[in-house]
């Protein structure tokens, strides 16, 4: 399936460590959002990037940060990992800042913090 | 505070029966509402958008601003409709999104 690719698919980290998750969007998708989905919960909005700048943020602390690159790839960085950061992290991209264009989700990265 | 509530974690119906998945929201401005679906072992995908006034796979959803609801309906459920359904809300600048906790729909033969 084409569209949004996330890596790695699974990751185990130790509390206090830092982690970088990666997302590759399809060509032309200049908007990317990241979500945290805990077990049994809906996705929680972390932040959104449009043309390499953050243009929206949910209720997540500053240790959650991101980058978006000109080649339609992006990163989610989490510093000082806590046990509660264990979750599925989803990336979604769309063609513009207006989500009426529709957007595509990746299959996620499962992060486990021990 | 912005919030999306899906009161039912699980909804089981028989094939051919009508389906209504409930979604209520709290938002201080003019929201845009969406329904997403996740079939088994597949990615989350957009089902329909309020702004498009569309019907997808027989599903429709009407925004009721008075009741702050956006319930998803289908007159005759099919087994292939079994999936996890999420209601989502965005402000009209589309730079923040809020998802509900989801309802698992199980359509029995």
Kindly report, residue by residue over B7-21, the tens digit of the pLDDT: 999 999 999 999 999
**How many Cβ atoms sit within 10 Å of the Cβ of residue B91?**
17
- Chain B hits for A90, CB-CB cut-off 8 Å, are 44
Per-residue pLDDT, A1:
44
Residue A91 contacts B where some CB pair is shorter than 8 Å? no
Q: Mark B16-40 as b/e (b = at least 16 C-beta within 10 Å).
A: eeebebbbbbebeeebbbbbbbbee
A103 touches chain B (CB under 8 A): yes
Structure tokens at A78: 């989490």
Q: Which residue has the higher pLDDT, A29 or A6?
A: A6
In this structure, the number of other CB atoms found within 10 A of the CB of residue B60 comes to: 15
- The residue that leads in pLDDT, A12 or A25, is A12
How far CA B26 is from CA of A19, A88, B50, B60, B67, in Å, comes to 34, 25, 16, 21, 10
pLDDT value of residue A49: 92
State the nearest Cα–Cα gap between B103 and chain A, in angstroms.
10
pLDDT at residue A98 tops 70: no
């Amino acid at each position: 399936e084409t569209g949004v690719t996330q890596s790695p698919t699974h990751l185990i980290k130790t509390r206090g460590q830092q982690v970088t998750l990666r997302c590759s969007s399809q060509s032309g998708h200049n908007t990317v959002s990241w979500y945290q989905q805990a077990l049994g919960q809906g996705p929680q909005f972390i932040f959104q990037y449009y043309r390499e700048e953050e243009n929206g943020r949910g209720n997540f602390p500053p240790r959650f940060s991101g980058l978006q690159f000109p080649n339609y790839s992006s990163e989610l960085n989490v510093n000082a990992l806590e046990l509660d950061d264990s979750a599925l992290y989803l990336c979604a991209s769309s063609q513009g800042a207006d989500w009426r264009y529709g957007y595509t989700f990746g299959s996620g990265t499962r992060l486990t913090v021990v | 505070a912005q919030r999306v509530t899906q009161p039912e974690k699980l909804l089981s119906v028989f094939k051919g029966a009508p389906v209504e998945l409930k979604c209520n929201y709290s938002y201080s401005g003019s929201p845009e509402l969406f329904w997403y679906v996740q079939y088994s072992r597949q990615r989350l995908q957009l089902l329909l958008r309020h702004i498009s006034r569309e019907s997808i796979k027989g599903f429709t959803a009407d925004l009721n601003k008075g009741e702050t609801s956006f319930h998803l309906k289908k007159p005759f459920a099919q087994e292939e409709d079994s999936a996890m359904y999420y209601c989502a809300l965005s402000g009209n600048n589309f730079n923040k999104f809020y998802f509900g906790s989801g309802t698992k729909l199980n359509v029995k033969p």
